[in-house]
Amino acid sequence: MTVTASSEASTDALAELARIWRRYEGDPDGAIRVITETGCKAIGVARCSVWLLDEDRATLRCLDLYERESGQHSSGIALPAATYPGYFAALETEEPIAADDAHGDARTCEFSAGYLTPLGIGALLDAPVRTGGALVGVVCNEHVGDARVWSRAEQRDAAFLGSLASLALELGQRARREALLAATLESTGEGIVAVDSERVVAFNRRFLEMWQLDAPPREVTVLRAHMDGRTRKLDRFLADASDVLAGPESDTIDVVQLTDGRTYERTGRPQVVRGEIVGRVWSYRDISQQRRAESALRASEAHMRDLAIRDGLTGIYNRRYALEQLGAALVAAEGAGERVAVALIDVDYFKLINDNHGHLTGDAVLRDIARAMGERLRGTDLVARYGGEEFVVVMRRAGREQAAAVIDAIRAKLSERAGTDDVPRYTFSAGVAEYPTDGSEATALLGKADDRLYAAKDGGRNRIIAMD
């Protein structure tokens, strides 16, 4: 059965907690108690508790447990890691634990016999508690009854209570709420700014560092007055009061790309009191390095894919890829009733080139013919190294006469060209076959093209044969 807390009840409970929070700034124990009481109201659970890890992280102890039905607080229960290794491993990820079915969830099922079943608990929602950037415990919301699907809003509210528990633990001795809020904001690596209907009401130093602001202005107008050419970009997202109030009524996540190459992920959340948006909180996370890493990874993956289909010497496609594309071309041609021309090309007397000039010169010849083919053929044509000094050309929507004419033009141009120190004069021979006249399968077409290639060799080389 799915049970959800009332959104209005949740908002009212959290708003009330925010209203009375000041009175608990110097009373961390009272702050923890009001957090567990608010958790029961805001998330609609029977039991809410705060647990802390011992220094050796081998035991989790209950700091405060509030039971809504009885209105009683208790503490002192200890959970050893040796008994609940799965749950403790989940804790070390420092991620929220939203166990819709606590008995079946691998992270919480260890509690089934000794804890969940006796208490009638069917679902758990745990939010991490951190101090000094390290995980120190959890705020645990326990639903008594059947399994329950935790909504995103409930998970956000649980995370908020976890943050408040962190504040209570870290900053309980601070006398002023402003000092508490400021220290909390400074504990995160994200830039945070909060705006109400008239001004910037809170921000952290990381925010100033990210936007290269030298002064700590409070009001929006003053903040903009401190912008120079580099930081004028803040106008994109520090809206006027009217824009703030007219903004989206839900959470937003987008990306801000700066002209200097930095990339920020922006998360915005409206602050709502009794159904009215009274402000917005934005947090900015620098994801520049992450984006660069992702870009490098995509480039690396593209490079690896290219390496898999390219010939390392000539840079054109390799035999395996050419055969795959020939198969695809034949399938497409069959459906469209089109022709496909296949040519096999072989450099004449290539062994003599290697023997007389060396293998490096032979490699230069292979690169030269690959370049010549690539420059002359259509964008829809494919040229690949078939093996050794042999190349294959696949020409879609072309007959053997058309293909032979194109390849013969390349042959004539190369054979008439004077040699150089880098690339001596050379010629090539070719055999051309056509789908479907010479065969309906790749093997048959390549075989026919190969027969005609050898006929061209036997006929004196430096020629193209496209018909028997």
Question: What residue segments make up the domains of the chain, in order of their start?
Answer: 7-175, 188-288, 310-465
Alpha-helical regions (H) of 232-383: 241-245, 288-309, 319-336, 350-357, 359-376
Give the torsion sign (CA, 12, 18, 22, 28): positive
Contacts of 295 (CB under 8 A, 6+ apart): none
Residue 185 has what pLDDT? 67
More confident residue, 119 or 302: 119
More confident residue, 214 or 450: 450
Residue 449: both structure tokens together: 């093209």
d(CA 439, CA 437): 6
CATH placement of domain 7-175: 3.30.450.40
Residue 239 has what pLDDT? 44
Beta-sheet strands, E only, within 151-219: 191-196, 200-203
Q: How many CB atoms lie within 10 A of CB 467?
A: 13
Q: Which of 94-108, 288-302, 318-332, 389-403 has the lowest mean pLDDT?
A: 288-302
Beta-sheet strands, E only, within 323-463: 340-347, 382-387, 390-396, 428-435
Q: How many CB atoms lie within 10 A of CB 307?
A: 10
265 pLDDT tier (thresholds 50, 70, 90): confident
Q: How many CB atoms lie within 10 A of CB 100?
A: 16
Report CA-CA distances (Å) from 254 to 192, 258, 444. Answer: 15, 13, 55
Res. 225: pLDDT tops 50: no
Residue 93: both structure tokens together: 């990820």
Q: At what angle do helices 152-171 and 7-20 cross, to 10 degrees?
A: 10
Report CA-CA distances (Å) from 50 to 41, 128, 373. Answer: 15, 10, 72
Mean pLDDT of 97-104: 96
Each residue's pLDDT tens digit, 48-76: 999 999 989 999 999 999 999 999 999 99
Res. 171: pLDDT tops 80: no
Q: How many CB atoms lie within 10 A of CB 94?
A: 10
> How far out from the chain centre does Cα 49 lie?
35
Q: Which residues pair with 369 in a beta bridge?
A: none
Res. 160: pLDDT tops 70: yes
87 near 137, Cβ under 8 Å? no
The two domains 7-175 and 188-288 share their CATH topology (first three levels equal): yes
Q: Model's pTM, two decimal places? A: 0.43
Q: At 127, which helix (H) or strand (E)?
A: strand 121-131
What would you measure as the largest C-alpha separation in the chain, in angstroms? 104
Right CATH for 188-288 from 3.40.640.10, 3.30.450.20, 3.20.20.70, 3.40.50.2000: 3.30.450.20
d(CA 252, CA 221): 24
> How far out from the chain centre does Cα 386 lie?
38
Among 45, 64, 68, which Cα is nearest to 151's?
45
> How far out from the chain centre does Cα 94 lie?
20
182 pLDDT tier (thresholds 50, 70, 90): low
Strands 464-465 and 428-435: parallel
Counting beta carbons within 10 angstroms of the beta carbon of residue 244, is it exposed (0 to 12), middle (13 to 18) or buried (19 or more)?
A: buried
Q: How confident is the prediction for the chain on average, in pLDDT?
A: 85
Fold for the domain defined by 310-465: Alpha-Beta Plaits (3.30.70)
Residue 264: both structure tokens together: 């920020």
Bond from prior residue into 436 cis (ω within 30 degrees of 0): yes
